[in-house]
């Protein structure tokens, strides 16, 4: 529901008191809004009800409390180091690691979120891209221009086609060794 500030009825011409009262209500209404351009102050002092709508296009989410989804609390602070220099290190760690639904790890500049049930990344079961999907989530482009990345690219495309979002490519060369099946309306973005 939209908040509407009702201005007082004024005489013609308005008195200075009526004018000042109207301007004061307008100033209060403006100070009680969020700024879309990020101008400050730009914080909430109460919960924001999205009325069943989604929160989309979020690059980073900084949480200082807990995140609850359908009554389940996600762990937002995981002790230990979960930043891996390479994807291969992450895959090796994943084989025997204790994982919690909702945890996020970073490997070679990409984020993965554990949902416990996904089979989309065959060598990292239970994990999905956290944020944008890159072919590199599905495999190592160890020698750009030589490593056959067809299956990585196809898997990333299929994931984006199913879940929505944008398929992004790192600024490197991806060798394609066989035919890709591609929907023309799949959003693609090259990262510079």
Domain boundaries defined on the chain: 1-42, 66-131, 132-192
pLDDT digits (tens, 9 = 90+) for 60-103: 766 666 666 666 666 554 544 478 889 999 999 998 888 889 88
Averaged pLDDT score across all residues of the chain: 83
Percent of the chain having pLDDT more than 90? 41
**How many other C-beta atoms can be found within 10 angstroms of the C-beta atom of residue 62?**
5
Residue range 9-30: average pLDDT? 80
Q: What is the DSSP code (8-state) at residue 122?
A: T
Q: What is the DSSP code (8-state) at residue 133?
A: B
d(CA 148, CA 145): 8
At residue 1, the pLDDT reads: 43
Percent of the chain having pLDDT more than 70? 81
pTM score of the predicted model: 0.58
d(CA 121, CA 7): 58
């Amino acid at each position: 529901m939209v908040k509407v500030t009702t201005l007082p009825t004024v005489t013609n011409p308005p008195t200075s008191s009526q004018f000042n009262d109207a301007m004061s209500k307008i100033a209060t209404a403006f100070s009680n809004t969020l700024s879309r351009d990020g101008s400050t102050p730009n914080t909430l002092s109460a919960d924001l009800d999205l009325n069943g709508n989604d929160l989309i296009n979020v690059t980073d989410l900084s949480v200082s409390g807990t995140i609850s989804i359908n009554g389940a609390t996600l762990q937002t602070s995981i002790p230990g180091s979960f930043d891996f220099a390479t994807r291969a290190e992450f895959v090796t760690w994943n084989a025997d690691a204790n994982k919690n639904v909702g945890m996020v790890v970073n490997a070679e500049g990409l984020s993965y979120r554990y949902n416990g049930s996904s089979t989309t990344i065959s060598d990292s079961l239970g994990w999905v891209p956290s944020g944008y999907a890159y072919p590199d989530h599905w495999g190592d482009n160890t020698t750009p221009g030589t490593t056959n990345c067809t299956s990585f690219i196809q898997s990333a495309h299929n994931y984006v086609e199913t879940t929505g979002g944008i398929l992004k490519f790192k600024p490197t060369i991806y060798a394609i060794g066989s035919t890709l099946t591609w929907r023309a309306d799949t959003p693609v973005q090259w990262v510079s």
